[in-house]
Structure 1
Amino acid sequence: MNIRFLTLGMIFLSFPVFSQKDELREAERQLKRNNLQETTAALKKAEAVLASATEDQQAQYYFLKAKNELAQADSGTDTEKNITDAIDYFNKVQEIENATKSKKYSVQADPLMNQLLSDIVNNAINDNNSGNFQTASKKFEQAYTLSKKDTSYLFYSANAAVNAKDYDFAESKYKELLRLNYTGKTKIYTAVNKATGKIQSFGGDKKMRDVLLRHNTYVNPGEVFEESKKGMILKNLAFILMGKENYSEAEAYIIQAYKENPDDTDVLISMMNLYLETNRRDKFEEVALKALQKNPENDVLLYNMGVVHLNKNEDASAKEYFERTIAVNPKNINAYINLANIVLKSDAEITGQMNSLTNTRSNQKKFDELKQKKKEIYDAALSYLKKAESVDPKNEMIQSNIKELNNFLMNY
């Protein structure tokens, strides 16, 4: 009785394994015939007994699942989800076979993964070039998930997300790049797509590039050496955090960005903006002076220094910076407007003096002198505003101010 009971137990334990083999065999048969519904049904049955399957059968199961998802993607059912799932299943195959040191299904998966990666990257580049940044970002992320050794795809995903104004997604990807110690300082492999005639980057994946060269779909291989992108990552991350008014975290990243590349004017300007937003004028001026030492002809820096002195009521210094701004960039409207405002500052005092004078013969000469000064002030301010108008003829605020000054001068 004991022997018979043991035999029944052995038969019971073996049954799911045989069932697994049958269902996998059926799924493979239906997939070759492109019967996707039947393939899905067979894989569903195989999934029910997956826990009792051998590691080889598990690898086969995920390999067939990946192929089925690719076939589903080709049918246009839910392409993005199908491709995402296919990538997950291919990665599962590699995970299982790396643990077992088997290559049976990984070898079969490699060319499919390479072609899929090429298609995803091509589509992502086309989307990016067409201004479809959101979809480009997601596709570059898919490319990274499929080939995690090519961290550059994660970088492209984050950049496209910034262009799409998807700042939360970009922030998470930039932070992941920093955790991975990504710098982007690498050798990039390129080739010309025969179909389009355009150069395509394959990131650091020389193997995939060379496979496609052998297939004769790409020609003219090349190499490009790219400098570190760490400074850009830190700068963009700081910019995103400043937009969220998370100034303390943003400051930490912008300081790192400055250390990474102290000659980057954009970094210095971002630091200046941060200190302006947090009302630290002394730090702002300190950074601005450093920036001007490196870029004495930068009109943005000159203008901002003018604003700093204007806010401190240091009108002479502010005027000097605004005039230097215009000398570098004659189209800086705000510099003209601020110069006009500086000139008009003394108008209130003169008007007050005029109003305080009594209507006597002895005060008439004083009144006329003040009136002439007022006219000179308006003439000077009008000169600046007309220059601003020549840059932007449709600016209603400038037109309104010019009209007001002209009305005064006509009446006097």
Structure 2
Amino acid sequence: MIKADVQNNAIKDVNSDNYAEAAKKMYVLYEIDKKDTINLYLSTSYYLKVKDYDSALINYKELNKLNYTGRGMEYYAVNKKTNVDELYFSITERDSYVKAGMAEKPRNVVAVSKRNEILLNMGFIYREKKDLAAAENCYKQLVAYDPTSVDGYLELAYLSLDKKKAIGEQMSVLGTSKAEMLTYDNLKIKMDDIVKGAIKYLEKANALQPSDKTVSDLLLKLYRSMDLIAEYNALKAKTN
């Protein structure tokens, strides 16, 4: 009875776009019954929707620790008022809306894994918090879990370019003394290694999705910056 009451109130919050309150209530549902991990996932999604990144990250860490995938059945129906195909908390809730004439065209869908989404969103939050090491760890977990994740490789490349930019800023303030020139040379070697790493990530993404112009354009730019003429010409020929 308590679960039903909390869930009904959470549904009301969602229907009135009060996602912050809905997030809290879905987490309460998860605490009542920790086997029902979908409630933790929904709580996290609502926190992310209102940009409460601190609360979302706490939940994402727990989902990651649980190796949550969300695989199972999802229950959809079209909201008659908005004509939007909506996901419901349970088959009971969905069917009650259909029976009341508020929804139509019910359908059940076998859910795809949410693991990619969780790791991508965790990485995004860490980047917002300027914790690039933690973000990189999330993206590496992602490509280890799903080696076909173009988004994972692209985010790893972006992180590499953030590191390149930081090193470039260090190099730009160095003088011309012997010690500073040596530091400059060492930083240049480090920067080139970082760019080579970014290229490897982008090559994997390009192999998976050759039609993605974002990937190919960035890869062409890096090939040119590293004087990789043969690689540049080969990719350029494919994209023309």
TM-score by length of 2: 0.69
Partner amino acid, structure 1, of 2:222:
V
Instruction: Determine the structure 2 residue equivalent to 1:298.
Output: 212
* Secondary structure class of the residue paired with 2:68: coil
Instruction: Determine the structure 1 residue equivalent to 2:130.
Output: 245
State whether residues 10 and 21 of structure 2, in contact with CA within 8 Å, keep that contact through their aligned partners in structure 1: no
Q: Please tell me whether residue 266 in structure 1 is matched to residue 156 in structure 2.
A: no
* Secondary structure class of the residue paired with 2:198: helix
- Residue-by-residue CA offset, 1:23-68 (whole Å, 9 max, x unaligned): xxxxxxxxxxxxxxxxxxxxxxxxxxxxxxxxxxxxxxxxxxxxxx
Larger fraction in helix? 1
Distance 1:152 1:137 in 2: 17
Instruction: Determine the structure 1 residue equivalent to 2:72.
Output: 186
State whether residues 161 and 167 of structure 1, in contact with CA within 8 Å, keep that contact through their aligned partners in structure 2: yes
State the Cα distance separating 1:161 from its structure 2 match.
3.4
**What is the total number of aligned residue pairs between the two structures?**
207
Partner amino acid, structure 1, of 2:126:
L
Matches within 5 A, 1:369-384: none
Partner amino acid, structure 2, of 1:187:
M
Matches within 5 A, 1:28-47: none
* Secondary structure class of the residue paired with 2:51: coil
Matches within 5 A, 1:52-63: none
- Residue-by-residue CA offset, 1:376-411 (whole Å, 9 max, x unaligned): xxxxxxxxxxxxxxxxxxxxxxxxxxxxxxxxxxxx
Instruction: Determine the structure 2 residue equivalent to 1:233.
Output: 118
* Secondary structure class of the residue paired with 2:110: strand
Partner amino acid, structure 2, of 1:224:
V
Instruction: Determine the structure 2 residue equivalent to 1:310.
Output: 224
- Residue-by-residue CA offset, 1:160-219 (whole Å, 9 max, x unaligned): 43343332222112112122332111112345667777655333x345556x36984666
Instruction: Determine the structure 2 residue equivalent to 1:284.
Output: 198
- Residue-by-residue CA offset, 1:228-263 (whole Å, 9 max, x unaligned): 101110121122213333222222221111122222
Distance 1:257 1:215 in 2: 41
Q: Report which structure shows greater RCO (CA 8 Å, sep ≥6).
A: 2
State the Cα distance separating 1:319 from its structure 2 match.
6.6
* Secondary structure class of the residue paired with 1:228: coil
Distance 2:64 2:39 in 1: 14
Q: Of residues 168, 178, 202 in structure 1, which corresponds to 2:88?
A: 202
State whether residues 193 and 217 of structure 1, in contact with CA within 8 Å, keep that contact through their aligned partners in structure 2: no
Distance 2:84 2:8 in 1: 14
State the Cα distance separating 1:140 from its structure 2 match.
3.0
Distance 1:285 1:209 in 2: 47
* Secondary structure class of the residue paired with 1:181: coil
State the Cα distance separating 1:286 from its structure 2 match.
1.3
Q: Of residues 128, 137, 145 in structure 1, which corresponds to 2:28?
A: 145
- Residue-by-residue CA offset, 1:118-141 (whole Å, 9 max, x unaligned): 3422432552xxxxxxx4144133
Instruction: Determine the structure 2 residue equivalent to 1:117.
Output: 7
Cα separation, partners in 2 of 1:161 and 1:153, compared to 1, 3 Å: same
User: Unpaired runs of 5+ in structure 2?
Assistant: 165-193
State the Cα distance separating 1:225 from its structure 2 match.
1.4
Calculate percent identity across the aligned residue pairs. 24
State whether residues 26 and 43 of structure 2, in contact with CA within 8 Å, keep that contact through their aligned partners in structure 1: no
State whether residues 26 and 42 of structure 2, in contact with CA within 8 Å, keep that contact through their aligned partners in structure 1: no
Larger Rg: 1
Distance 1:193 1:304 in 2: 42
State the Cα distance separating 1:326 from its structure 2 match.
7.6
* Secondary structure class of the residue paired with 1:278: helix
Partner amino acid, structure 1, of 2:225:
N
User: Unpaired runs of 5+ in structure 1?
Assistant: 1-108, 128-134, 328-412
